[in-house]
Amino acid sequence: MSVETLPVPRVPANERIALDDLGYTDDGISHITARYGYMETPHVLGALRTIDPAIVEGRQLNLDQASYFLSKIELRSGKAPTMARWRKRLFIATSYTTADAAEHFGLPRDRTVIMGSHIEV
């Protein structure tokens, strides 16, 4: 599932969800895109519960067994002279104050996997 923020304040309910079978209709895997406006707070489970059965077209959608994957980027100070050392530290420190993504999207913690990577600044 992907959450897309559009350059409009609000997205109508009938345009919120898009479903894609990723080219294989019989493997049981689907990609869902939930669209929100920039004034809206995304709530993934709430959006999934509003999916019209006609959109699912015979696919099984079991929200009680679904797994959710999030990505997290960890910033590290590098040796490249791209900015002053104190600015790098400040930038990295502010990255730690971000909201918890699982909580922000309203995802169940016991079925959420967080994958991460490192970027040097």
- pLDDT tens digits, 74-84: 898 888 888 88
Claim to verify: residue 86 and residue 112 sit in the same structural domain? yes
- Where a domain ends, among 63, 92, 112? 63
The Cα–Cα gap between 104 and 116 comes to 17
- Ranges of H-type helices in 5-114: 44-49, 53-56, 85-95, 101-105
- Same domain? For 114 and 79 the reply is yes
- Residue 40 is predicted with a pLDDT of 94
**75 and 107, same domain (yes or no):** yes
Q: Are both 59 and 72 inside the same structural domain?
A: no
pLDDT for the residue 5:
94
Mean pLDDT calculated for residue range 85-105? 87
- How many domains does the chain contain in total? 2
Structure-block tokens of residue 46: 């709430």
Q: Are residues 57 and 84 in the same domain?
A: no
How many Cα atoms occupy the beta-carbon half-sphere of 119 within 13 Å? 11
**Range 88-112 average pLDDT:** 87
Out of 44-53, 64-73, 84-93, 109-118, least confident range: 44-53
What type of residue sits at position 2?
Answer: S
Q: Domain of 73? A: 67-121
